[in-house]
Structure 1
């Protein structure tokens, strides 16, 4: 009964548009007041413990890294290099959009950062070249989901800390599924543009192509530092985040795109985003502690086992649940609330925890493109000055490849577990 009241109170508060951290905090505080065995001191300790984790130090650093990359000129150089390399292909700017997002994702770690950076450049360029507005918005939104799947994925860090998994293993686990998403989006671009011969650019001279690619090579250094440092075991993901920030900051200084004024904006944006993430972490820690006291994982396990004892059926049911949750709840909050409950159940079914993590992260990222809360929709609307209703209309066709990739991730766990096993990332 207590669990039902807790979740009902949370849903009511979210429906009233109460900030997520307050919606998590209020039911928890009421529980502590009414339960004689739960002291305020113990609750405060549990709340603070949510952010006392070394791995979480990587979150503000990777947020800073993404903000620095936004102003460093990295996106422009990646866009120019991809355009020079494949601009002569039919529907080229669609592929360029995906390729640029993939390159930028190694520095951003968050779909919102990718959507803001790519929307500013890609959508106007595509509209200018005659691409339908909806297609330009849709491919930009869909390709932004690559960022949370590969290093330095911020959702992967939050999940790893919450579930007690290795950050390195989750970083590695998302790379192959991200490549599957890239292929699926490329197929979608081909289907949408295969009859449009006008959607291609003139092939530039070889010298120009080499020059544009060479200008973008230093940007790739960020991925080499972050991924190479973690894989080699030289640095932890947290230390790699600091190295990545230093490298991108040096790039920005060399490109002369970093000024005192822009540095102030970057710092303010980083503090704001970090604060919003960590305050949810602290509130969710207290909420999760209450759920653990009331044995929520055990109750949910018994309930689901009564429905089915087949792992695949369980995964399908969880996917449906997560698609609904992702549409109304911000991914970080959803991970912090649901992982302590669902991850133990997945282990009962014998599902690999890394596979389950990748599936859950990608599913919740789809929520960023799902009305009514989808944050990427509003970011694209803001940076492109297009009404959010038109953004939603443009994104809708891309749910087909995204849901298709979700099914592939769900039914083929080897896609998520192969690379971590190959490189020996800790579990």
Structure 2
């Protein structure tokens, strides 16, 4: 009988019904037909909406949106440009570095693409870079957002798998850095091999470098508080996100850029995004209960494990996640497939921290993978550049990112080393 509920779920998604409603509808059908107690629905909704760790999500969103509103994120890019703009593909490298830093504020790929991305693309175009390559670099580098802490998807995974949010954040540090380095290597290869228009800028003096670095320090305060507070144990992830949000407000007052209108706009956008995430978390628990209770997850787990080899199972899992991430939002897929991931982790004796990073990294690549490529779409739309013409450059970045994914998948130490060193896991 499960197939009918699942068919209803798939049909509603194809009909562009919000996924939270699709999950709830199919779960209600299952409960009614099988005589399940609806008290469970209320309990799971209450548990999701009262979870302390999920309070970090609106604060992370607020920090990213507010930093864009007060216009300090561009200082990060300019400072990076002064240091490495004279190298081959220098501004593209600065783009990647700025995205890595901004990832430490927003935890969202789309926030990076739509906010800092417009500044990066304009600067690269003004310097004579191919505009389609500029958009591609921006969209691809925004994929680092959900990996380097803080990460909204890591918060969701920690909530679903009942693992440590701190451990998840620490586990994303090395993979995030590897993503950035691999993209920077590819930029050099692409510029030289494909003769992409990417002129270098004049080498800045040491005085200029330090001057612009000092100017960028206030903008760096957000990620320093977030990452530093979490890694040193001074704050919990939730507390750290709130402190960083307060810092951004104080910073806007100091720079005389604060206004009630701007604050209201930021809070409104934060509320809209947060409500979507919380709705997904709450309905996702119910949907997960349905697919676990019905036996679907057991069936899928046995089918994948029948491959008989851990490496083949992990490759198959990567393929499934990459495929789903091409059509459905990363957070939605993470919530839907969480029971399967936890079952496979238990069967293969893998760390839930490691599996969580694999899953989020896979789904993040879907943000720049056709046919949807939402990060590319947002960047192209925000900058007025052709989506289709930028796509050919964007897909090239899947090469270094997939290499990174495979390293993360098959070398657990890449994700688990930092959490172990800092005592987040044993």
- TM-score, with length taken from structure 2: 0.95
Secondary structure of 1:157 counterpart:
helix
**C-alpha separation between the residues in 2 aligned to 1:22 and 1:290?**
14
| Corresponding residue to 1:101 among 93, 99, 102 | 99
**C-alpha separation between the residues in 1 aligned to 2:145 and 2:47?**
28
Q: Which has the larger displacement, 410-419 or 347-356?
A: 347-356
Counterpart contact for 1:46–1:289, Cα < 8 Å: no
Q: Deviations over 1:329-359 (max 9, x none)?
A: 1111111110122222222112222111111
Secondary structure of 2:49 counterpart:
coil
TM-aligned CA deviation for residue 196 of structure 1: 7.2
TM-aligned CA deviation for residue 166 of structure 1: 0.3
| Corresponding residue to 2:130 among 108, 129, 132 | 132
**C-alpha separation between the residues in 2 aligned to 1:342 and 1:89?**
42
Match of 1:343 in 2: 342
**C-alpha separation between the residues in 2 aligned to 1:202 and 1:30?**
64
| Corresponding residue to 1:177 among 175, 178, 182 | 175
**C-alpha separation between the residues in 2 aligned to 1:49 and 1:258?**
36
| Corresponding residue to 2:49 among 48, 51, 58 | 51
Q: Deviations over 1:278-337 (max 9, x none)?
A: 1111221111111222233333332223x2222111100000000111011111111111
Match of 1:141 in 2: 139
Counterpart contact for 1:311–1:351, Cα < 8 Å: no
**C-alpha separation between the residues in 1 aligned to 2:34 and 2:197?**
69
Match of 1:283 in 2: 283
Counterpart contact for 2:76–2:220, Cα < 8 Å: no
Counterpart contact for 1:72–1:257, Cα < 8 Å: yes
Counterpart contact for 2:64–2:111, Cα < 8 Å: yes
Match of 2:243 in 1: 243
Q: Which has the larger displacement, 266-275 or 209-218?
A: 209-218
TM-aligned CA deviation for residue 81 of structure 1: 0.7
**C-alpha separation between the residues in 2 aligned to 1:18 and 1:418?**
41
Q: Deviations over 1:24-76 (max 9, x none)?
A: 1111111122122x122222222332222110000111111111111233311
Q: Please give the residue correspondences for 1:300-339 in structure 2 after superposition, counting only pairs within 5 Å.
A: 300-305=300-305, 307-339=306-338
TM-aligned CA deviation for residue 426 of structure 1: 4.1
Secondary structure of 1:149 counterpart:
coil
Counterpart contact for 1:297–1:345, Cα < 8 Å: no
Counterpart contact for 2:135–2:385, Cα < 8 Å: no
| Corresponding residue to 1:110 among 104, 108, 111 | 108
1:395 and 2:394 correspond: yes
**C-alpha separation between the residues in 2 aligned to 1:79 and 1:231?**
25
TM-aligned CA deviation for residue 198 of structure 1: 6.6
Secondary structure of 1:258 counterpart:
coil
**C-alpha separation between the residues in 2 aligned to 1:64 and 1:133?**
30
Q: Which has the larger displacement, 265-274 or 194-203?
A: 194-203
Q: Please give the residue correspondences for 1:140-159 in structure 2 after superposition, counting only pairs within 5 Å.
A: 140-159=138-157
Match of 2:65 in 1: 67
Q: Deviations over 1:365-386 (max 9, x none)?
A: 1111123333212211221122
**C-alpha separation between the residues in 2 aligned to 1:302 and 1:168?**
31
C-alpha change, 1:391 and 1:256, in structure 2 (3 Å) is farther
**C-alpha separation between the residues in 2 aligned to 1:354 and 1:60?**
23
**C-alpha separation between the residues in 2 aligned to 1:391 and 1:30?**
43
TM-aligned CA deviation for residue 245 of structure 1: 0.7
**Consecutive unaligned residues in structure 2, runs of 5 or more:** none
**C-alpha separation between the residues in 2 aligned to 1:372 and 1:48?**
36
TM-aligned CA deviation for residue 391 of structure 1: 3.6
**Consecutive unaligned residues in structure 1, runs of 5 or more:** none
C-alpha change, 1:332 and 1:219, in structure 2 (3 Å) is same
Counterpart contact for 1:69–1:75, Cα < 8 Å: yes
1:161 and 2:159 correspond: yes
Match of 1:274 in 2: 274
Secondary structure of 1:328 counterpart:
coil
Counterpart contact for 2:130–2:196, Cα < 8 Å: no
Match of 2:377 in 1: 378
- TM-score, with length taken from structure 1: 0.95
